[in-house]
Amino acid sequence: MTSATYGTMPAENQSSKAMLWTGRVISAIPVLMLLMSAIMKLIKTPMAMEGFKQLGWPEHFALAIGIIELSCTIIYLIPATSILGAILLTGYLGGAVATHSRLGEAKVIGGVILGILVWLGLFLREPRLRSLIPLRH
């Protein structure tokens, strides 16, 4: 009988504890940054509002963007919806990269790095993703 019969994953798709914890630590970096960013938008800190002004976004968008950022991050944190969360965060970060690119800002690299960390952390901790995107040895 195959491993699928018993509902287990093939050995190559299972996570070692080291891989799982490395993925969790890597995932924590963008999560903490995104949570901090969302909270700053939701409580409309002066720093966040100044950022909106510099980027050419009306301040009244802060609440909606903060809710979107927080929602995508929470969806990423829930194991059952983590892949959907990574997809949503990719779209959110793509918007941030586009906004900073439009102004020629070097902050573009921050959004790209966060996106890479979102997917790398998820890849290391999520066997379902590794089965979809197998890496050859």
Do residues 100 and 114 lie in contact, with contact meaning Cβ atoms separated by under 8 Å? no
pLDDT of residue 2: 44
Q: Does the predicted TM-score (pTM) go above 0.95?
A: no
Q: What's residue 130's pLDDT?
A: 87
Give me the torsion for CA of 56, 110, 86, 23, rounded to 10°.
-160
Q: What is the mean pLDDT of the chain?
A: 89
What pLDDT is recorded for position 87?
97
pLDDT at 123: 94
pLDDT in the model for residue 124: 94
Q: How many CB atoms lie within 10 A of CB 5?
A: 7
Strand residues in the chain grouped as ranges (E) = none
Residue 32 pLDDT greater than 90, yes or no: yes
Task: For residues 12 and 96, give the distance between their C-alpha atoms in angstroms, rounded to a whole number.
Answer: 36
**Tens digit of each residue's pLDDT (9 = 90 or more) over 48-98:** 999 999 988 999 999 999 999 999 999 999 999 999 999 999 999 999 999
Beta carbons of 52 and 79 less than 8 angstroms apart: no
- pLDDT of 136 > 80? The answer is no
In sign, the C-alpha dihedral spanning 68, 71, 72, 73 is positive
> Do the beta carbons of residue 98 and residue 108 sit within 8 Å?
no
Predicted local distance difference test score (pLDDT) of residue 132: 85
Spatial contact of 85 and 75, defined as CB atoms under 8 Å apart: yes
Q: What is the pLDDT of residue 15?
A: 65
